[in-house]
Amino acid sequence: MALTVVGSIAFDAVKTPFGERERMLGGAAVHFSLAASFFTEVRPVGPVGDDFGEEQFELLRSRGIITEDIERVPGGQSFFWRGHYDFDLNVAHTDDTQLGVFGEFEPKLSDAAKAADTLFLANIQPDLQRQVRAQCAAGFSGLDSMNLWIDIAKDSLLAAIAEVDCLVVNDAEIRMLTGEVNLAKAARAVMEMGPRAVVAKRGEYGAALFTESGDDHSFFALPGFPLEDVRDPTGAGDSFAGGFFGYLDGSDGDLDEANLRRAMGYGTVLASFNVEEFGTERVSRLEREEIDERFEALRRMTQFEGLPASRD
Amino acid sequence: MALTVVGSIAFDAVKTPFGERERMLGGAAVHFSLAASFFTEVRPVGPVGDDFGEEQFELLRSRGIITEDIERVPGGQSFFWRGHYDFDLNVAHTDDTQLGVFGEFEPKLSDAAKAADTLFLANIQPDLQRQVRAQCAAGFSGLDSMNLWIDIAKDSLLAAIAEVDCLVVNDAEIRMLTGEVNLAKAARAVMEMGPRAVVAKRGEYGAALFTESGDDHSFFALPGFPLEDVRDPTGAGDSFAGGFFGYLDGSDGDLDEANLRRAMGYGTVLASFNVEEFGTERVSRLEREEIDERFEALRRMTQFEGLPASRD
């Protein structure tokens, strides 16, 4: 199985109450790819500038990520984001965004990228997401977005959403997108647009999964993995998506409810490792064994036994 | 087993986007008692005025609640709260509070109330909570509070917390109380004050349980039960606590981790029924069978299977 992801490949400058980094590898497609690389073959698609060097390529390759579809634009500068977090780590404050080579990006997927079984459209302008989707007929596809596109490109975003199988956004964005305050109703409204699954990301509160079946099994939720040390939440949502879609692609596209729930678990685990240190620092030296240990710990933290009558 | 709860027994005026009620039975001890009444013998303690009539007593008695410790003060007025919610049902706006007979309340527990196995100190002035605690040596005790008391009576509140086994408050209040932003650290700080368990209420995101064991089993979380129709969140937290402590008391004081988790499940279920209609309307005509059905539905919504290797 193989997974293609399109999205930003960037440098980030980040300051949190627990430290700062002036320039580090970042971007949605990077965080996603690193997380997914533990489960399957990942191919990030996107442009970078001259400033994106061998060191960055090597970090990705060391995790088995296929970098052929990262297009280096001569004379260009890579996407750059500067932001900070105050004590409420759930809220990112953007101080600067420089699109760089992303401003001129016209996605052209290689034959290998087009042939992916799974496609993830990370948060970029929705017309670009549609251009990529049109080139890749992957059997399972997902999409992330943000409030900016709901504000300034809503029609295009709705068209993009209609073309994917699974929407993965923050719960506030699901409400904003549908104009429906009740999250269960909002998720149902999204599924009426096309997707058969909706993942609501909820920051420290974890994530919820809505699926089409319409009975009790149509809702599943996991808390965030409890951590005493969170240093930098940047990329948590992308790492979640990488764990989720990476695991699904790596398990031969098994999309039954039980496997979707396991994928939620892996997404939660990858997001939790991501926030323990700055940028890609923790995930880039993570071992699969650590992931599976934390996955099992998460299971122990969320299981409870049935009615007392049935315990005897 | 028997359960004593002290807290407000009140009339509420509530307006939400889904309707309004000018005067209905409410108060923390009322919501708590109704929820707990499905599991054990409950005895609410607190004062009411002349305006608290046979209709209100009868509603409580119809659920088997023992009303002997509800003290009717001649010439007095019952506690009254007026509030409203906008579209974000997580935020209550208080428009009026009249303490009435609660302003002069000096708790004197009957021998039966003192002999309870379980004691819950609902959200009232912390000195009153301590006076009640001093009269009741229940083997298991819990306490709720609010930001107001952290602001104006923090020392007294800290002393009250040190005297109970389980703190049940909103997650923001745990942070505020300890000055620690990280919830896991904040919960640990509370346990260092005395309690062996901390329940963080998280509104629509559910609730988390921290216990002392110090390993993976020391954290457990449940999402809120997903509902498409929420009409009035007033009393959700008290209904949660009633389900939680009521279930524990009714199961012969079994406080092992598995039973605490089941209690979290029952708390979640009772809170979910409470918010479906205004005030006590839904819970006062609830059946035990409906509770157990929803408990099992909640279990189905939160369970996931282990590593794929173990499914074969």
pLDDT per position as a tens digit, B108-140: 999 999 999 999 999 999 999 999 999 999 999
Residue of B nearest to A252 (CA): B308
Tell me the nearest-neighbour CA distance from A97 into chain B, angstroms: 28
> B208 to chain A, minimum CA–CA distance in Å?
9
Does A161 lie at the interface with B, CB-CB under 8 angstroms? no
Task: Look at residue A310 in the predicted model and tell me its pLDDT.
Answer: 46
- Give how far A185 is from chain B: nearest CA, Å: 6
Where does the pLDDT of residue B288 fall: very low under 50, low under 70, confident under 90, or very high at 90 and above?
very high
Contacts of B292 in chain A (CB under 8 A): 307
Alpha helix stretches (DSSP H) within B235-287: 236-250, 257-276
What ipTM, to 2 d.p.?
Answer: 0.92
pLDDT digits (tens, 9 = 90+) for B167-225: 999 999 999 999 999 999 999 999 999 999 999 999 999 999 999 875 555 899 999 99
pLDDT digit string (tens) for A106-141?
A: 999 999 999 999 999 999 999 999 999 999 999 999
Tokens of B79: 């506690």
Three-state DSSP class for B46? strand
Query: B301 and A221 in contact by Cβ < 8 A?
Result: yes
> In this predicted model, what pLDDT tens digit does every residue of B231-265 receive, in sequence order?
999 999 999 999 999 999 999 878 999 999 999 99
How close is the nearest chain B Cα to the Cα of A160, in Å? 26
Which chain A residues are closer than 8 Å to B311 by Cβ?
Answer: 258
**Inter-chain contact A88–B299, Cβ cutoff 8 Å?**
no
**CB atoms B258 and A205 under 8 Å:** no
Quick: pLDDT tens for A227-277: 999 999 999 999 999 999 999 999 987 899 999 999 999 999 999 999 999
CA B69, B72, B73, B74 torsion: positive or negative? negative
pTM, two decimals, is 0.94
Query: Quick one: pLDDT at residue A253?
Result: 78
Nearest CA in chain A to B250: A308
For A122, other C-beta atoms within 10 Å of its C-beta total 29
Other residues' Cβ atoms within 10 Å of the Cβ of residue B155: 8
